[in-house]
Amino acid sequence: MSGSVSPLAPAAIADLPPIAGVRLAVADTGETYAARTDLMLALFDAPASVAGVFTTSQTASAPVELCREHLKGGMARAIIVNAGNANAFTGKRGESATAEVVRMLAEHIGCDERQVFAASTGVIGQPLDAAAITRHLTDLTARAGDAGFLDAARAIMTTDTFPKLAAATARLNGEVVRINGIAKGSGMIAPDMATMLGFLFTDAALPPEVLQPLLEEAVADTFNCITVDGDTSTSDTVLLCATGRGTAATDAADPALADFRAALHDVCLNLAHQIVRDGEGARKFVTITVSGAAHDAAAKRIAMSIANSPLVKTAIAGEDANWGRIVMAVGKAGEQADRDRLCIDIGGVRVATNGEADPDYREERVQPHMRGREIDIAVDVGVGTGRATVYTCDLTCRYIEINADYRS
């Protein structure tokens, strides 16, 4: 793992101001990474509204199951996150370990256990030692407020080569509210040491029943539209907590939420892009837009089929505008496409029109684009008005080196 920062990393790390009502602390358990923090606590001064979305995996980790359960209460006093051990596929012992951490943290805070949320990321299948975390709880709660968002973003990293932060402000009922977000992940993937986690905090005053649909909507075309290798973690978790007092809106459809909705989308998209930019072995950031599909979901499936095709991804790594492979990936998606109306643009250059190579297409015209860091592919499949955009990276030998872990 380790090593140098991804060449696709943002030029600067976002500087996030505090959010009223949120106090952060980090610690080094000494259990996982050498000389690095690997434990993060977010403590809320008062119960915060909370919304969450989780992996669709059938083999979800113990913390994911716990969060799903606690989310029913809609309120959070704390989130505890450890990096280095995913506590996934650890059976009943894994469930007990997470339950123990949460129970003890609730005791320290003096709150209902259901107001404590947990996330774990790291190795799958290794029993989690609850004591390695619980022995830090007194200290962490005492120091809550000492750490900033950058410290928190660093403490949840695993194979990440840079911390991921994003922020925005929005007008809500005449006031300016903030949204801060941190995330980790080298893809929507589950190598030994990766998973996607995202934690969003806002000082807006929004009840859980408003936050939840807003978060689901924001995640749908941001975190759920990225892929590094099509592999889905057992632990993917995104939580959104709102600390504001009162109630700025009682319905997610309230037009007053327009600006907040847009800001939340921006923060999620920014973090989602950063995860792709830290994709294992990634050298190019790829945006794939599919239009003309039967419906939006069909467009997304076609776009994901292109984004996950090893042949498309290796061609991009090779700076080869191999549009035949894009046709193949459209064809295998299992969604309606009109072969004789299919059009493909790469970097704004029309390469294929109505089912065959464009008569004006010359490979030299897309070569400068293919040599760049940002690759844009647009495909119109010619059957309807469905549309979707997804984000991925190229597939390089470095991905294989990182994941093959040659031992011989």
Q: Is 328 in the site for a copy of itself (CB under 8 A)?
A: yes
Known catalytic membership, residue 195: yes
Q: Is 315 in the site for a copy of itself (CB under 8 A)?
A: yes
Q: Please, which of residues 44-63 interact with a copy of itself by CB under 8 A?
A: 55-60
Burial class (CB within 10 angstroms; exposed 0-12, middle 13-18, buried 19+) of 167: buried
Lay out the site mask for a copy of itself across 69-108 (x = CB under 8 A, - = otherwise): -------------------xxxxxxx--------------
Q: Is 339 in the site for a copy of itself (CB under 8 A)?
A: yes
Element at 154 (helix H, strand E): helix 149-155
Q: Are 19 and 243 in contact (CB under 8 A)?
A: yes
Q: Which of 287, 322, 384, 389: binder of a copy of itself (CB under 8 A)?
A: 322
Lay out the site mask for a copy of itself across 211-250 (x = CB under 8 A, - = otherwise): ------------------xxxxxx----------------
Q: Is 333 in the site for a copy of itself (CB under 8 A)?
A: yes
Catalytic residue among 55, 195, 202, 232: 195
> Which residue in the block uniquely carries the two structure tokens 């998973």?
195
Q: Mention every residue, 6+ apart, whose C-beta is less than 8 A from residue 406.
A: none
> Of 39, 38, 86, 96, whose CA–CA distance to 64 is shortest?
86
Q: Which of 155, 248, 342, 349: binder of a copy of itself (CB under 8 A)?
A: 342
Q: Which of 41, 67, 124, 290: binder of a copy of itself (CB under 8 A)?
A: 124
Q: Which of 275, 330, 375, 393: binder of a copy of itself (CB under 8 A)?
A: 330
DSSP letter (8 states) at residue 5: P
Strands (E), 277-319: 285-293
Q: Please, which of residues 373-392 interact with a copy of itself by CB under 8 A?
A: none
Q: What angle do CA 156, 162, 167 make, to 5 degrees?
A: 75
CA distance between the termini of the chain: 17
- Give the whole-angstrom CA distance, residue 281 versus residue 293: 31
CB of 126 to a copy of itself, least distance (A): 8
CB of 260 to a copy of itself, least distance (A): 32
Query: Where in the sequence numbering do the catalytic residues fall?
Result: 195
